[in-house]
Amino acid sequence: DGGITQSPKYLFRKEGQNVTLSCEQNLNHDAMYWYRQDPGQGLRLIYYSQIVNDFQKGDIAEGYSVSREKKESFPLTVTSAQKNPTAFYLCASSISRTEYSPLHFGNGTRLTVT
């Protein structure tokens, strides 16, 4: 079955360390997205990518970085510059960003930084 795989499901890090969250899709989708979810705030867009080797900042990109070297993969790095990194992170994909199509989501990674 096609889908989006996020790993790991839970991640614990010490403050000051960078951490990378994995996202892989086998849906052959062009567009991929990273969202951050905090209680009571819905989903906020961190970064998105329309095609390989191209990505754009979303609404809350500060303290995060991404890469898109392969169509299937869109890893997110939470850097030590992110002031409040503890959150639930969701990766999503869609057919493209120019055609209207629903987002398909992974099952998320819960990051805890202490």
Least spacing, CB of residue 19 vs other proteins, in Å: 19
Q: Contact residues for other proteins (CB under 8 A)? A: 4, 6, 9, 40-43, 45, 50, 90, 92, 97-100, 102-108, 110
Least spacing, CB of residue 79 vs other proteins, in Å: 24
How far lies 41's CA from each of 24, 35, 37, in Å? 25, 12, 7
- Comparing CB distances to other proteins, the nearer of 9 and 14 is 9
- Comparing CB distances to other proteins, the nearer of 61 and 80 is 61
Q: End-to-end distance of the chain based on CA atoms, in angstroms?
A: 36
- Comparing CB distances to other proteins, the nearer of 17 and 107 is 107
Least spacing, CB of residue 114 vs other proteins, in Å: 20
How far lies 28's CA from each of 15, 32, 95, in Å? 36, 10, 8
Q: Where would I find the beta strands (DSSP E) of the chain?
A: 4-7, 10-13, 19-25, 31-37, 43-49, 56-57, 64-66, 76-78, 87-94, 104-105, 109-113
Least spacing, CB of residue 37 vs other proteins, in Å: 9
- Comparing CB distances to other proteins, the nearer of 43 and 61 is 43
